[in-house]
Structure 1
Amino acid sequence: MRAAVHDGQAARAVAVVGRVCVRHRFVVIVAWVLLVLALVTGARMIGTPTDNDVSLPGTDAQLVRDLTASSATPLTGGTVILVAPDGRLDDGARSGVLAATAASLQAAEHVTTVKPPSPRDRSLSADGRTGWFTVGLDVRRAELTKAMAHKVTDAARPAADAGLRVLPGGAFAQVIDGSGSTGNEYFGLILAALVLFLALGSLAGAALALLTAALSVLATLEIVGLAGNLTSMPAQASTLALMVGLGVGIDYSLFLLNRFRTLTRSGLAVPAAIERAVADSGTAVVVAGVTVAVALAGLSLTEVPLLQTLAWTCGIAVLFAVLAALTLLPALTSLAGRRLARGGMLYNRLARRAGSGGFWARQADRVTRRPWLAGGFAIVLLALLAAPATDLRLGQLDAGSSPSSTAVRQANDAISAAFGPGAGTPVTVLGRLPTPVTDAQDPRMSQLVAMVRTQPGVADVGPPTPSDDRRVVTVHVVASTSGGDPATADLVHRLRSQSVPGMTVHVGGNTAARVDLADRVTDKLPLVIAVVLLLSVAVLLLAFRAPLLALKAAVMDFISVGAAYGVLTAVFTWGWGVTWIGLSGPVPIPSFVPLMLFALLFGLSMDYEVFLLSDVQRRWNMTGDNLRSVREGLLGTGRVITAAAAIMVGVFLAFLPNNDPTIKMFGVGLAVAIAVDATVVRCLLVPATMAMLGDLTWWTPGRKRVRTTLPSDQHG
């Protein structure tokens, strides 16, 4: 009974898919094009709304949100901030400007209400130089577009003409910034094209891989965008799906095309070579994709809608990458034929050197001859990279964490300078009463306000506001620290620990919601890690049928994640090189980022493990010589996996200019983990441990191995 990944029913089924796609290549290609066109058309007609609101069922902040929500259709709005260079906004000389600005805003499309700055509702600063218009719209938050926000801000032209600084605030600033893309992501594609050309030695091969990945990513993005009409879709979802989709899509195509090239050079006809390539590398693609999906599925245990949404959007990207690699790429490859098998002069020279005692041959020989030395060196290096993770401190991002060029940062700076650092992120304290309040003099309301005022870290307290049924009283609290400051989170916890006679106290608002998110993630972290580890090991065990091999692969990936956490801490918590990626200084790492990174990295790092082990196991089943199999497997996959890793690292680093600090964190973490996995782990630690374990690597209880003859393409 064979145990190699490409053997068995799964490999035969995948091979059938490749054969069908070759025979009906034009049908497959047209079907993909029509699918993408239909999705693009639907997205343009229906829209692709985003919504950064965080819901967290079962938490105190969500309870406050539900109790204060209007029973009517929830509409959206934002603020238009005015800053005077001198004097006051409400003095006699500027009162006419404010009136003209209010009238202009009221006349803007979709605007329903306009409330001018006033000291009574604390929308005008004490010195009178800064204030904001509160603007209500007749659309939901998910329907608010960048064009709408710009039209509202442009309607404040009377204020701008009078020399006042006009800034979008609130939802307007958020939608103007959008996903934070700066367009530099295209540099990742340019790098990918260059690496593909060097790895495949042909422009046609590079073009096929990029086209396959592009169509799969485009389909993913349109589906994610359309899903925003049905559920809350954070702006980061599309960007993260784009990162993952491009990385795995190009990599999967590269592995299949490289295997196809090897088989055609060994003499196989093009259709047979495609079928065999799909059976070999295609099955490994399926295993790798399933492993990523399983790791992401573990995030469903967090019961955090934000993480669950990010997980399934990335899962869709991986699914389309696998489908495109198994269907679209074989169809396109059959059209290109043997042109893909011919490489240029540079490629052929590198291939000859790699196959005759090149770097990978020497590396494989060094590691397998001295596995304890190579493994020990790798462990020390990885420990140094992971060491900063012991100081990993989780916190909360706020508008002040964004780059200074963004609309949300500029609005935050203006409001913080005029009203205090906590003005942009007020905390809502809610009191639930068993009996309705009688009037404004009800002592329970004054007691609630008095309790809040006595808490350290409170800068200002608004008047108590009863609900329509007068059983709920809300008080808006401005902290003396910013929403991202740990002291503000401490204030939320202190307020929740207080009691007021005759009412139950709850605390909500964006800051409180992020505190609840951090608590939920911390509670679920051990469970998610355990489940992801177990499920990943189970997938590998089914694929390779070697328990020690599956456990070793999981441990290797866990080590890569630790190194990524260490670099993440050094950059964003300690501030090492943080200004190089567009931030003004160290920023907190949100609680959900390490957990999301763990699931993504565990799945993505497993890709290269699967491709290396598939090749090694195929050779071991044919020779029974563990050391020879490890050496030849490393030699046979070293160049292509290095190219694949370089592509993925380049794609992830291309997202560092993105204005969203969270995307920068994902870019750094993913790039570091993949780079470490493709170099230190795969070049040193994996072959060293396999050499030390010997035949125990492939041990399976109660199974006998059938040895076969090694084919002529043994170094492919």
Structure 2
Amino acid sequence: MNSGGSTSAALPDGRAARAVALVSRVCVRRRFAVIGAWVVLVLALVTAARVVGTPTDNDVSLPGTDAQLVRDLTASPGAPLTSGTVILVAEDGRLDDEVRSGALAEAAASLREAVHVTAVKPPSTRDGSLSEDGRTGWFTVGLDVRRAELTGDVARAVVDAARPAADAGLRVLPGGAFAQAVDGSGSTGDEYFGLLLAAVILFLALGGVVGAVLPLLTSALSVLATLEVVGLAGNLTSMPAVAATLALMVGLGVGIDYSLFLLSRFRALTRSGLAPPEAIERAAADSGTAVVVAGVTVALALAGLVLTDVPLLRTLAWTCGIAVLFAVLAALTLLPALTSLAGRRLARGGTLHGRLTRRVGSGGRWARQADRVTRRPWLAGGSALVLLALLAAPATDLRLGQLDAGSSPTSTAVRQADDAVSAAFGPGAGTPLTVLGRLSTPVVDAGDPRPSRLVAAVRAQPGVASVGPATPSADGRVVTVALIPSTSGGDPATADLVHRLRALAVPGVTVHVGGGAAARADLADRITDKLPLVIGVVLLLSVAVLLLAFRAPLLALKAALMDLISIGAAYGVLTAVFTRGWGATWIGLSGPTPIPSFVPLMLFALLFGLSMDYEVFLLSDVRRRFRRTGDTVRSVREGLVGTGGVITAAAAIMVGVFLAFVPHDDPTIKMFGVGMAVAIVVDATVVRCLLVPATMAVLGDLTWWTPGRRRARAAEPIG
């Protein structure tokens, strides 16, 4: 038996395996052309991205919602393409006193001369940009570039132009769009630690430098292609910064894992006596086919997010889908070409690798584990369910909220700006709301009572800190009222205020509410409405793929159920860390942090697909052995032994990659990193080592039951 080399996918329909084998054969014969094509493709994409640019835009639209309606109706054709703020804070005195008024005038003149600046509005009590004590205020600065084109260098240049204010002893901070641009991607560079960990694990798993380099090189080229395509797409559509980071996480994780499974199979086949070209073709037919099934499963899970009708989730879905697509293509084309160059050098492992291989053989740790589980499946399965229930228990307290600048680490520019503004103006100053009244008939004169009634009704609501005057539109059919809530944008009370305002009954006025907090509330409502549909479709699509692959309904349903259990455990840990704040300071947060409404749904799609990877590889190996022996329990034991080492290594790599993103400044990225790492750990240990083999041992031959068809047994050697 070949430990670590039996992750083949013996699908009932051999056409897929033959097609994948044919692709690998062509790539081996034309290896230099294939390698050259990948290098040219990546270089072309990198060059295009540098020439055209890779803009990002965190401004999320949500067509068909109340907040989007307000935004569309209040849009001004003559407004700057982008606006941001330059915040000024005085330690004592007022910004508008005689001592500092000259410095502010000089700063305003300097700002007007800065690159891309089209308008500058100084702090004033009239528009609420100067605090009552006069110690804090901001310049509102308009630019002639789109928000997606606002770079950190441009933002810093604008803020630096306010140096006369800093020379006068004032604290100068970027705010709004400028602060977001200064923070950039929020990356801390710790992603490289994940790559280093992956290199070490690959060295141990594949026994040498060549074995470690090939998966990393293959994954690096596929990820580079992914990031440049995603970046270029930002010129055609709104591309949030989180999209590229999430695609990087997924691309690195699956890219390295897919390469590891293929190379492990190749090395086992070469050690059994096959020449490298034949071993590559056989490995592609076996593990390569499983890679295709796993990749398709991830893609279909992500495709389910299209049903939410939320542009943000659609964007995150197709960007992550591109990462998976490139990972599969690289594993099936580039990796065989590179492997053919390495040849038998890849089959030779070092002394340490040989010792590790022997430990997971027929008499090693995995054999003992498999024997324990299959001999007492009810005990093993019950214990696993109890442990998973404990992990998932906190998820009953899962509360979705809204992130705002106050949720970011204190080292970020957006958090420092929010702290300064909140301290001077109140916690809701950073997330103002706009109440829009649509009138049944236009306002004719100043004596029309409807605008004043709207203002009075808004002011009477609890949770309102201040209300501005009603401002009619040019045609008199719409009036707008600026409102500052008494709570921050991330506080659930602000979302409650939005819903109360929308329910106001003012004679002759239809009330709508917009603003950042209102848009996030609309996003949460839409996702909640679509959640059952998305989960149902993802489950059906994934089960359909497994049915096509294994032709066994109970096996497909069991696999889907196992994935749901892993996701439940991930939700539990996510709730404990972020909602309850357990260990939040360890990952760079100041305390409990709201979980945005789209995170659990996006995690569901990602985790359902990624967790299915290991299920596919394990079940493929077990089925291949069952077709040879006809003994389910024996096949489960041998399958767990055969896949134990390589799946553990693959899971360790993916967990390391995901955890490397936890130090990221963006709390959303932290959530994805923690949630995905926990799910993979649970799936690769408790679910794979206990629950899956125990369930299959209990079901016995029913595992392979197919309606209307007798159980087939094919004599198939295990290579």
Structure-to-structure mapping, 1:514-663, within 5 angstroms = 514-663=520-669
> Which residue is equivalent to 2:367?
361
Question: 1:486: how far off?
Answer: 0.8
The match for 1:491 among 497, 522, 531 is 497
1:569 match: secondary structure: helix
Is the 2:185–2:241 contact (alpha carbons within 8 Å) kept by the matching residues of 1? Answer: yes
> Which residue is equivalent to 1:687?
693
Give per-residue Cα distances to partners, 1:554-590, cap 9 Å, x unaligned: 0000000000000000000111100000000001111
Structure-to-structure mapping, 1:85-96, within 5 angstroms = 85-96=91-102
Question: 1:179: how far off?
Answer: 2.0
Q: 1:458 to 1:529 in 2, by over 3 A?
A: same
Question: 1:637: how far off?
Answer: 0.3
CA distance in 2, matches of 1:330, 1:695: 36
Structure-to-structure mapping, 1:247-262, within 5 angstroms = 247-262=253-268
1:475 match: secondary structure: strand
> Which residue is equivalent to 1:4?
10
Question: 1:711: how far off?
Answer: 2.7
Give per-residue Cα distances to partners, 1:586-621, cap 9 Å, x unaligned: 011111110000000000000000000010001111
Is the 1:193–1:206 contact (alpha carbons within 8 Å) kept by the matching residues of 2? Answer: yes
1:656 match: secondary structure: coil
1:134 maps to 2:140: yes
Is the 2:80–2:142 contact (alpha carbons within 8 Å) kept by the matching residues of 1? Answer: no
Give per-residue Cα distances to partners, 1:115-172, cap 9 Å, x unaligned: 0000011100000000000000011111111111010011111111111100000000
1:193 maps to 2:192: no
CA distance in 1, matches of 2:78, 2:173: 29
> Which residue is equivalent to 1:452?
458
> Which residue is equivalent to 1:67?
73
1:461 maps to 2:467: yes
1:355 match: secondary structure: coil
Q: So what's the TM-score if we normalise by structure 1? A: 0.98
Unmatched tracts of structure 1, length 5 or more: none
CA distance in 2, matches of 1:569, 1:590: 12
CA distance in 1, matches of 2:641, 2:313: 39
**Letter aligned with residue 318 of structure 2:** W
Is the 2:10–2:286 contact (alpha carbons within 8 Å) kept by the matching residues of 1? Answer: no
Q: 1:361 to 1:68 in 2, by over 3 A?
A: same
> Which residue is equivalent to 1:500?
506
1:430 match: secondary structure: strand
CA distance in 2, matches of 1:121, 1:165: 21
Is the 1:457–1:481 contact (alpha carbons within 8 Å) kept by the matching residues of 2? Answer: yes
> Which residue is equivalent to 1:383?
389
CA distance in 1, matches of 2:9, 2:617: 15
Q: 1:6 to 1:327 in 2, by over 3 A?
A: farther
Give the CA RMSD over aligned residues.
1.2
1:430 maps to 2:436: yes
CA distance in 2, matches of 1:300, 1:537: 19
The match for 2:275 among 269, 274, 280 is 269
Is the 1:6–1:280 contact (alpha carbons within 8 Å) kept by the matching residues of 2? Answer: no
Aligned residues: 712
Is the 2:661–2:670 contact (alpha carbons within 8 Å) kept by the matching residues of 1? Answer: yes
CA distance in 1, matches of 2:156, 2:613: 44
Question: 1:703: how far off?
Answer: 2.9
Is the 2:222–2:330 contact (alpha carbons within 8 Å) kept by the matching residues of 1? Answer: yes
Is the 1:558–1:602 contact (alpha carbons within 8 Å) kept by the matching residues of 2? Answer: yes
1:463 match: secondary structure: strand
Q: So what's the TM-score if we normalise by structure 2? A: 0.98
1:13 maps to 2:19: yes
Is the 1:6–1:614 contact (alpha carbons within 8 Å) kept by the matching residues of 2? Answer: no
Give per-residue Cα distances to partners, 1:207-261, cap 9 Å, x unaligned: 0000000000010001111111111111100000000000000000000000000
Question: 1:547: how far off?
Answer: 0.5
The match for 1:210 among 204, 211, 216 is 216
Question: 1:176: how far off?
Answer: 1.2
The match for 1:340 among 339, 346, 354 is 346
Q: 1:378 to 1:228 in 2, by over 3 A?
A: same
**Letter aligned with residue 617 of structure 2:** F
Question: 1:706: how far off?
Answer: 4.8
CA distance in 2, matches of 1:641, 1:392: 31
Unmatched tracts of structure 2, length 5 or more: 1-7
Question: 1:5: how far off?
Answer: 2.0
Question: 353-362 or 92-101, which moves further after superposition?
Answer: 353-362
Give per-residue Cα distances to partners, 1:322-366, cap 9 Å, x unaligned: 000000000000000000000000001111222141110101111
Q: 1:306 to 1:665 in 2, by over 3 A?
A: same
Question: 1:707: how far off?
Answer: 3.4
CA distance in 2, matches of 1:7, 1:18: 18
> Which residue is equivalent to 1:678?
684
> Which residue is equivalent to 1:183?
189
CA distance in 2, matches of 1:26, 1:108: 51
Q: 1:528 to 1:387 in 2, by over 3 A?
A: same
**Letter aligned with residue 603 of structure 2:** L
> Which residue is equivalent to 2:288?
282
> Which ranges of 4 or more aligned residues in structure 1 deviate by more than 6 Å?
none
> Which residue is equivalent to 1:106?
112
Question: 1:712: how far off?
Answer: 5.3
**Letter aligned with residue 376 of structure 2:** R
The match for 2:56 among 22, 41, 50 is 50
Give per-residue Cα distances to partners, 1:380-407, cap 9 Å, x unaligned: 0000000000000111111000000000
CA distance in 2, matches of 1:594, 1:101: 45
Question: 5-14 or 284-293, which moves further after superposition?
Answer: 5-14
Is the 1:64–1:508 contact (alpha carbons within 8 Å) kept by the matching residues of 2? Answer: yes
> Which residue is equivalent to 2:5?
none
CA distance in 1, matches of 2:686, 2:139: 56
Question: 1:72: how far off?
Answer: 5.3
> Which residue is equivalent to 1:477?
483
CA distance in 1, matches of 2:223, 2:505: 52
CA distance in 2, matches of 1:108, 1:81: 16
Question: 1:702: how far off?
Answer: 2.8
CA distance in 1, matches of 2:187, 2:219: 20
CA distance in 2, matches of 1:438, 1:53: 36
Question: 1:628: how far off?
Answer: 1.1
Is the 1:5–1:543 contact (alpha carbons within 8 Å) kept by the matching residues of 2? Answer: yes
1:134 match: secondary structure: strand
> Which residue is equivalent to 2:327?
321
Is the 2:362–2:641 contact (alpha carbons within 8 Å) kept by the matching residues of 1? Answer: no
Q: 1:493 to 1:87 in 2, by over 3 A?
A: same
